[in-house]
């Protein structure tokens, strides 16, 4: 895409989605409501997103021929996960606009590059150090202090690829257990709560943020989100400003999520950015039922070159994830007054697997 040739879809046009999980599924459903078609590309024949689109490509991300055919079938390409291989994105970008721009992935696929980018904007993060050996782990721990969190630079999610290192732990053992050659050590942040901002940036540079969400994790997996977060409006405004600056600096088109820690301080709480997700995000699922527009529709509008909506929240919203066996309770949830149930159509409820979610909205 060039500035002189921006994407401008019409109803009936086709969006290509890389990745076939629940995020791709909910993107395709939002696109459908706007009269847009989607074609999903995923190597997994059991992809939940395949069930809601007419056209799917089941192939490996390295399958150049399949990628070329897919590109030929679609008008614009987007993705529902951040670990799109660089070669895949480049093959597609040579043929069709890829939005958000795939160069963003170089920053967001690598925790070190991402932290350098965020701190480069003058935005606070946990203290961090580049770690590539036991020696650099020891040096990082000495500089940052313990406890600290050691994370693989790439491919971590839901707390995978992370270890806490405490006073008295053997750095050599912690390093060996992580089974990586490139990691980042972060100071342990004694946060009072975790929040996220879901922001959409349109092709014209307009940014629309949803109300700040508060997130509760268990076993490193998001369990419950509340909107709005129980924080002062001045702090919420700072959080939205941070997300807006990040989206603008990335020249981003689409929806992104910025996870932040609220850190207590003598002069009141402050914010630290934890991570950026260059995609729709679990902590934004509440917008499907709790706001006048969902994060999925905002993403579709942005990549279609359509105006973003001004999101109006409908009340106090709670989103509860159905993880693993939680989903077995779906029939009970179906009877809860006011609850809206979303099931992703996954056949096997493996422990830790996101199977669905429930939204409840109470008047403000
Ligand atoms: N530096 C840190 N200090 C304290 N807690 C952390 C820190 N980094 C991560 N965590 C906790 O672990 C969770 C998962 O870490 P995160 O970096 O978001 O990785 P991912 O979501 O990719 O698994 C966070 O939501 C937070 O609860
Ligand atoms: Mg996270």
Average the pLDDT over 273-297 and give the result: 98
Q: Extract the tokens encoding 301.
A: 């509008």
**Torsion angle (degrees, nearest 10) of CA 269, 270, 272, 276:** 90
Assign residue 353 a region (left: φ > 0; alpha: ψ between -120 and 50; beta: otherwise).
beta
Percent pLDDT > 70 in the chain is 99
Residue nearest to atom 14 of ligand 1 (CA): 159
**Torsion angle (degrees, nearest 10) of CA 331, 335, 340, 346:** 0
**CATH code for the domain defined by 127-187:** 3.30.1490.20
Q: Which ligand is nearest to the CA of 215?
A: 1
Residue 157's pLDDT band (cuts 50, 70, 90): confident
Label the pairing between strands 270-277 and 316-323.
Answer: unpaired
Average the pLDDT over 269-275 and give the result: 98
Distance CA 324, CA 351 (A): 4
In the chain, where are the structural domains located?
14-98, 127-187, 193-362
- Measured CA distances, 28 to 1, 91, 96, 101, 278 (Å): 22, 22, 18, 19, 17
Q: Extract the tokens encoding 272.
A: 């630290």
Q: Which CATH superfamily is domain 193-362 in?
A: ATP-grasp fold, B domain (3.30.470.20)
Spell out which residues have Cβ within 5 A of ligand 2, the ion. Answer: 259, 275
CB 127 within 8 A of CB 116: no
Distance CA 252, CA 259 (A): 17
Average the pLDDT over 155-173 and give the result: 92
- Measured CA distances, 261 to 55, 63, 148, 272, 354 (Å): 40, 39, 15, 5, 23
pLDDT at 5: 63
Quick: pLDDT tens for 41-72.
Answer: 999 999 999 999 999 999 999 999 999 999 99
Q: Which residues does a 6 A CB cutoff place in the pocket of ligand 1?
A: 126, 149, 156-159, 186, 188-189, 194, 217, 220, 259, 274-275
For domain 14-98, the CATH architecture is 3-Layer(aba) Sandwich (3.40)
DSSP result, 304-339: HTPPPP---B-SEEEEEEEEGGGGGGHHHHHTSTTE
Quick: pLDDT tens for 89-148.
Answer: 999 999 999 999 999 999 999 999 999 999 999 999 999 999 999 999 999 999 999 999
Q: Which ligand is nearest to the CA of 115?
A: 1
Quick: pLDDT tens for 331-360.
Answer: 999 999 999 999 999 999 999 999 999 999
């Amino acid at each position: 895409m060039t500035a002189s040739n921006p994407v401008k879809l019409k109803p009936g046009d086709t969006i290509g989605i890389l990745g076939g999980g629940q995020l791709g599924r909910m993107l395709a459903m939002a696109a459908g409501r706007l009269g847009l078609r989607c074609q999903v590309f995923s190597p997994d024949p059991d992809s939940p997103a395949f069930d809601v689109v007419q056209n799917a490509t089941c192939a490996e991300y390295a399958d150049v021929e399949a990628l070329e055919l897919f590109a030929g079938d679609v008008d614009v390409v987007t993705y529902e996960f951040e670990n799109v291989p660089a070669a895949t994105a480049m093959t597609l970008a040579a043929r069709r606009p890829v939005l958000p721009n795939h160069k963003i992935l170089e920053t967001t696929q690598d925790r070190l590059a991402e932290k350098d980018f965020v701190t480069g904007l003058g935005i606070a993060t946990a203290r961090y150090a580049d770690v590539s050996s036991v020696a650099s782990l020891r040096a990082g721990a000495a500089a940052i202090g313990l406890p600290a969190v050691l994370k693989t630079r790439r491919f971590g999610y839901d707390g995978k690829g992370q270890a806490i290192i405490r006073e008295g732990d053997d750095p050599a053992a912690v390093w060996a257990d992580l089974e990586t050659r490139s990691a980042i050590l972060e100071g342990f942040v004694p946060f009072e709560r975790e929040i996220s901002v879901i922001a959409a940036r349109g092709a014209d540079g307009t940014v629309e943020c949803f109300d700040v969400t508060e997130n509760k994790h268990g076993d490193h997996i998001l369990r419950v989100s509340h909107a709005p977060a129980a924080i002062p409006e001045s702090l919420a405004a700072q959080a939205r400003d941070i997300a807006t600056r990040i989206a603008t600096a990335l020249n981003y088109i689409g929806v992104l999520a910025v996870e932040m820690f609220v850190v207590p301080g003598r002069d009141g709480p402050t914010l630290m950015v934890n991570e950026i997700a260059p995609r729709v995000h679990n902590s934004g699922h509440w917008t499907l039922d709790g706001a006048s527009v969902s994060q999925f529709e905002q993403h579709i509008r942005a990549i279609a070159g359509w105006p973003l909506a001004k999101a109006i929240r409908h009340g106090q919203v709670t989103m509860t994830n159905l993880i693993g066996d939680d989903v077995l309770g779906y029939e009970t949830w179906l009877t809860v007054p006011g609850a809206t149930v979303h099931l992703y159509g996954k056949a096997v409820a493996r422990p830790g697997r996101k199977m669905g979610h429930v939204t409840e909205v109470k008047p403000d």
